[in-house]
């Protein structure tokens, strides 16, 4: 892809090279026609063109499996580690355990209301500790 502008359905067709748009007839009448991948496996790299901390970098994309298949393939739980630092507290890390279907909600909540607590990293968790109360352990 070349200098594509992102919208809800992918890069705009007008921003793709002529060779990228000529294959549109080969794709079903879906948003896939707007995503002409760089590689035969349906993957590639694109410039982050929306306002963010990663603006100007590139992200990797790939065609994904159907939703039910994708949900079945991901870990059942995640561990979200945050770091809390302030002038009045000794720096420390908190670990939140969350079911996979609640991960986006937790990350949004931490991003919007975390204050001095920042998301440090996120990792798959096959089985959270019993003490977490999340279920599974």
Residue 31 confidence (pLDDT) = 55
Domains defined for the chain, CATH in brackets: 6-64 (no CATH), 71-132 (3.10.20)
pTM above 0.85, yes or no: no
Residue 81 confidence (pLDDT) = 97
The total number of residues shown for the chain amounts to 137
Of 6-15, 56-65, 88-97, least confident by mean pLDDT is 6-15
Residue 83 confidence (pLDDT) = 94
b/e code 32-67 from CB counts within 10 Å (16+ = b): bbbbbbeeeeeebebbeeeeeeeeeeeeebeeeeee
Q: Minimal CA–CA distance to 103: which of 63, 134, 66?
A: 134
- Measure the CA–CA gap between 68 and 78, rounded to whole angstroms: 18
Average confidence (pLDDT) over 106-117: 89
Q: How confident is the model at residue 91 (pLDDT cuts 50, 70, 90)?
A: very high
């Amino acid at each position: 892809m070349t200098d594509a502008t992102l919208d809800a359905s992918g890069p705009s067709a007008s921003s793709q090279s002529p060779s990228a748009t000529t294959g549109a007839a080969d794709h079903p009448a879906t948003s896939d026609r707007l995503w002409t991948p760089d590689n035969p496996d349906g993957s590639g790299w694109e410039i982050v063109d929306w306002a963010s901390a990663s603006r100007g970098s590139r992200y990797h994309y790939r065609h994904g499996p159907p939703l039910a298949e994708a949900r079945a393939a991901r870990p059942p739980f995640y561990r979200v580690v945050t770091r809390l630092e302030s002038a009045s507290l000794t720096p420390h890390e908190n670990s939140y355990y969350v079911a996979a279907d609640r991960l986006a909600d937790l990350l949004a909540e931490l991003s919007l209301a975390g204050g001095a607590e920042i998301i440090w990293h996120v990792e798959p968790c096959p089985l959270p500790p019993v003490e977490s109360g999340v279920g599974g352990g």
